[in-house]
Amino acid sequence: MDVELDHEWCYRAVSSRDGRFDGYFVTAVKTTGIYCRPSCPAVTPKRQNVEFFATAAAAHDHGYRACKRCRPDASPGSPEWDVRGDAVARAMRLIADGVVDREGVTGLAARLNYSERHVNRLITDELGAGPLAIARAQRAQVARVLIETTTMPFTAISFAAGFGSVRQFNDTVRAVFAASPSELRAARPDRASRRATPLDEHTNTVIVDLAVRLPFDLTSTIGFLAIRAVPGTEAFADGVYRRSLVLPHGHGVAAIQPELVHVGGRTAVRVELVLDDWRDLAPAVRRIRRLLDLDADPTAIDDVLGSYPAMRELVDRHPGRRVPGSPDPFETAVRAVVGQQVSILGARTVTGRIVAAVGASLSPALAGRGLTHVFPTPDEIAGIDPRLLAMPMRRRATLVDLGVRASLGKVLLDVGADRDDARRALLDVPGIGPWTADYVIMRGFGDPDVFLPDDLGVKQGLALLGLPVAAADDWRPWRSYALHHLWGALGASSRSSTAHPKEAT
């Protein structure tokens, strides 16, 4: 669904209170000075009294404050940034990952290979707010999470959320939420009643509820990840999927609960995060959202796929099926290379040995419950002793070469990289062919429109439905989701790694 901020179109969406549009835009009410999510349950304002903005940051810049009833700051993200691959979409993915907070607009522009002035103009022209304002709105949201879910002192929260001073923190919170930090904490929803134990700054632990659009097939998503869990960095027990994270200021661990929760009228995935450094909260949240594909628009996807008669049964069987992603495209690339022509179990075993050999160890505060290490960096893969790799010699060379090229920046594998450039760079690595490159673009970069026509599981799934490969053209721009439905139809969560065709060497 390609949303344009046409006033009449947006007003109809607001009048219907359709939660599908939460995260696409916000509604600002001129008479109250408040902005809301489209599904806000309040009385719909008159048409002449509203204006619409693509981001909460733009509403902030125009003097509006967030609605306390519908919490527009807690909406799912716009799926538009996953669908698109242009400079603005890449910038939004980088801002969400905290690049502006860490490196400023100068760093953002350098990653996009544009001038700072051009990046400001591109983003402001399209979204009504510049990168600094968008990052500021994100900091405010992180601050609110910590205010409402921990007992951290406000001084520590201001630092953790990325504010330059306590005064800036107080001013921003007041401007965005029309309440002081103390007032937000006093009025926090459910207080500690939904926490098993008090969580505070001494444990660096926080429970976050990540908003999601329905329907959402959480079971199949966790199942896909669990069966591929690499020992040491991932674990699955009692329905809970856990994994370690490499974050900008340290390491972290995420525990994803198996059941959706309903908080304040919203549906969410509950995740417990333990962090070395509180400043990594926003990047950790963003990476889990990518991992679970939480910003997707399942209704738009299912409408397209379900309109195709042969696919309708698969969609009806698993409405809201997602394409599980990855916290790190480089990790996805390594795992795809290791998994060439071997079973999922074999790939897990070999990758686990690599992790144990060169991956950094988790601190005692983070380790446990099957987690011991984080996934190796490009430098660590580049320097690995090939004799430690229990795989054919040519594949060993491919893996080390990939690490070297990624370490030198010849293969750019991060969320802000251009997908087409990344694919071409991957294909330049001897031993990486179209299947591996496209798999990395689909899961590592979150591209919703990747198809793997040479994949054995895809061929078998198409044959099961009596469809030719050309049928996939009708599923654009959601072919990645169609692919996962085809894998699912075969029980492919247990065999898709063996469906990897032989790559050129």
**pLDDT tens-digit profile of 246-273?**
999 999 999 999 999 987 778 999 999 9
Whether residue 284 contacts residue 275, with contact meaning beta carbons closer than 8 Å, is answered with: yes
Q: Which residue has the higher pLDDT, 488 or 253?
A: 253
Residue 3 has pLDDT above 80, yes or no: no
Does 390 or 268 have the greater pLDDT score?
Answer: 268
Q: What pLDDT does residue 151 have?
A: 80
pLDDT value at 358 more than 80: yes
Stretch 232-252: mean pLDDT: 97
At 483, give phi and psi (nearest 5°).
Answer: -60, -45
pLDDT band of residue 315 (cuts 50, 70, 90) is very high
Q: What is the pLDDT of residue 189?
A: 59
108: pLDDT strictly greater than 90: yes
The edge-to-edge listing of strands for the beta sheet with 65-66 is 50-53, 26-29, 34-36, 65-66
For the chain, domains (ranges, CATH) are 7-74 (3.40.10.10), 80-186 (1.10.10.60), 205-292 (3.30.530), 329-499 (1.10.340.30)
Determine which of 103-112, 155-164, 409-418, 451-460 has the lowest per-residue pLDDT on average: 155-164
State the chain's mean pLDDT as an integer: 89
pLDDT above 90 (res 68): no
% of the chain residues with pLDDT over 90 = 63
Give me the mean pLDDT over the 278-303 stretch. Answer: 93
Q: Which two tokens stand for residue 231?
A: 């020992």
Give mean pLDDT, residues 291-299.
93
Query: Rounded to an integer, what distance in angstroms lies between the CA atom of residue 330 and that of residue 417?
Result: 12
Report the distance separating Cα 484 and Cα 330, nearest Å. Answer: 21
- The two tokens of residue 348 are 């897990």
What is the per-residue pLDDT for 388? 77
**How many CA atoms lie less than 13 Å away from 13 in the CB half-sphere?**
24
> Residue 160: which of 242, 276, 2 has the closest Cα?
276
pLDDT at 501 (0 to 100): 66
Q: What is the pLDDT of residue 494?
A: 39
For residue 326, what are its two tokens?
Answer: 């990855």
Q: Per DSSP, what are the bridge partners of residue 275?
A: 252
Q: What is the secondary structure of 302-355 as a DSSP string?
A: HHHHHTSHHHHHHHHHSTT------S-HHHHHHHHHHTTTS-HHHHHHHHHHHH
Instruction: Quote the CA–CA distance of 310 and 210 in Å, as a whole number.
Output: 33
More confident residue, 437 or 5: 437
pLDDT band at 381 (very low <50, low <70, confident <90, very high): very high
Determine the pLDDT at residue 493. Answer: 40
Strand partners, 65: 34
Mean pLDDT over 480-489 rounds to 94
Say whether 455 is catalytic.
yes
Out of 293, 297, 401, 455, pick the active-site residue.
Answer: 455
* Annotated catalytic residue within 10, 22, 36, 297: 36
pLDDT, tens digit, for every residue of 325-347? Answer: 999 999 999 999 999 988 899 99
Closest CA to 226 of 290, 294, 292: 292
What pTM does this model have?
Answer: 0.87
- What is the DSSP code string of 182-233? HHHHHT-TTTTTT-SS---TTTTEEEEEEE-PSS--HHHHHHHHHHTPPBBT
258: helix, coil or strand? strand
Report whether pLDDT(196) > 70.
no
Asked if the model's pLDDT at residue 482 lies above 60, the reply is yes
- The predicted structure's pLDDT at residue 62: 87
